[in-house]
Amino acid sequence: MNALRPLQPLVGLIALATLLIVLVIAVRAISANAGFLVERQTVFLSFLGGLLVVSAVFAWIVRRSMRRADSTSSRLLLVATALALASPLTLMLLQHPAP
- Residues 3-32 pLDDT 10s: 666 677 778 888 888 998 899 899 888 888
> What is the pLDDT at residue 33?
85
What does the pLDDT look like over 27-59, one tens digit per residue?
A: 888 888 887 778 888 888 888 888 888 888 888
Q: Tell me, what amino acid is at 84? A: A
- Give the total residue count for the chain: 99
For the chain, the domains span 5-94
Instruction: With residue 68 as reference, give the H or E element that holds it.
Output: helix 36-68
| Residues 55-98: tens digit of each pLDDT | 888 888 878 877 777 777 777 777 777 777 777 766 666 666 65
Nearest partner of 11 among 63, 70, 47, 62, judged by Cα: 62
